[in-house]
Structure 1
């Protein structure tokens, strides 16, 4: 009796299991991927068991209700699509290299009675992209015009367009070389444009999906020439050379020349003109004048002309005379030496009569602090003629010898 009861319970349970329908256990509703990536649409089914052997199976349909897979087989030609079953319960749909056209509602379906479906919305994001054909390129306008710059963009979600002005000398410094304009949108309007708006502008489109896209466009503003002289007058000495300079702003630059006496100064050995480009609208025009003579002094005209107008400025080259202080003269102080004759009659113990013959001299020293270069002269007392120092010392030595001999003779006589 107990055995029979157990048999009945087992049979009932077995029938209940066989009769239980499968169901989904994943409730994902949205999947978002970027164009070019792989999208994985999840689908997991519980308690499928032997039910599929009777009449149930799992299929995938796309947003056009086109059948993509039947059980674990792909039944369309698109090789990007496959069914991946890492586990028994999983019936995941893989779409490789997704495209914008793949976006829509995909359906995982269990063919029970009634049919069970699980919709999953596939969202495709696209990075911002600038349409070069529909966007502005370089623009040329006259002062006072209104300039319109267009940056046509696409992308999902819709991109934000920011505008920047490129700093002329810092083009290669990335974000540091830009000045942001406080306007966002696909169109930038510049009203009453002036030469100071002449520059390079950049639009940057970004929607949160890297990478951002950008495009640069040049705005050229036409205006007549304006000339500025760093110096209106310059002086130089005869025989030397000099350089005259004028700074010209214009777009287009047009014709630029130096003139003198109404004639254009061509390139010769005498005159040489050179152009230095400072930026897109500014140049420096220099004139080198070599081996200056009197005919080169006078007025020089820097002249510039384009289709919108003409301008000129006058510069003066004058002779520079270098100041030379007058020469200074100094009178040297003279040292005077007078020669006296002590004579042979001068003997120790005499009255000290020197006699009248020329002989030994006496040197008068110059004052302390006398000017350098002062000379010394030795004068003969009788003749008042200068004698050389060598002659003076010879006379001194001779007189001394004579004195010594006379003294010896006098001593002997005694």
Structure 2
């Protein structure tokens, strides 16, 4: 009987445990929102445990146990917090160092989890927008202070095109410290340089922009074609002018600092006195060009004219041969071919025009029958009861790319507006008389919208009811 009472109690205890009841499993996990940290930051990385028997411990990448905070241990330490559903043990790291990167382990008994923490130093470029000036023939160095860890990838661009120094080593050198050296500077090196810096591991990107200008002597070019005169010794250009008309001869230069211009009439290969009349020589304020206004009153105005452009880096000259030229005839017809809210398209025919074939230069070598190179349109709004006001009306210059292409679109224009229209042809010598082309009107947004709605309505009706 002595053993009966304990046996009954044991049997009752065993029977009181439900067969489907299971004791909860212990869990342990590191709660890190990010595993990438920057040098100098302070971070708290939590390790959470539930149903644990043994305490949570943190271990450094070297395998050393991280202890709680003390006077000797104030930068890297652990704290302990208790919650209703478990235990939180944060790993606190003050002033994170590169050496703190690596595998950190949270452990409690047989439970453990390890995460790799990446510690880097983001590139910080303090002066990200720089203006720099070099000198023709010399070298210049563009710095990019891309100091960081892990080592960043640095790529240089000029005007959005990547610079590859190995493809052009005589011009560019990219040094180990990411400095870009540009050698033998010239006007073509002027532009926008961007140093793009990326640290993929840190998801970090930054850049530096350098606005480079170059001091160089004047470089003469044709303002119509934008072509630079490549002949270094003798620069000449043929110009045609119409007797009785005014001819503007333009001398254009790229230069830094801006150049001063001088014009000379030449006789027998020698310069006459400089032309200084302010009504005859008009130079732009920014020094990009100077225009010689020739009023061809008689044949004595034909001949050679020299333009010189000079700055403290050097001087360049070009001789313009001003020759008699033929005045073109106006177009035969001009018809409106299309209109919308902002543009007008015209069909222009000119049976008397001499159009260049694809293998010819734009200017015909025959001064009596110069090639027609384009048209000039002029448009002015219609005012009922008033004649067309052409003074100050905008001009639209269009080029003829092919004799078969007779359609020309003008814009942008005001919508829902009626315009007076006139047109004239142009060649290398000058322009024809104006041809009055009548009136043309742009459309209104409401008209275009109504037409679109009408088209949609008709389409839907056809789908629902079939063709009418």
Question: Normalising to structure 1: TM-score of the pair?
Answer: 0.50
- Please say which structure displays the higher CA radius of gyration: 1
Q: More helix by proportion, 1 or 2? A: 1
Question: Normalising to structure 2: TM-score of the pair?
Answer: 0.45
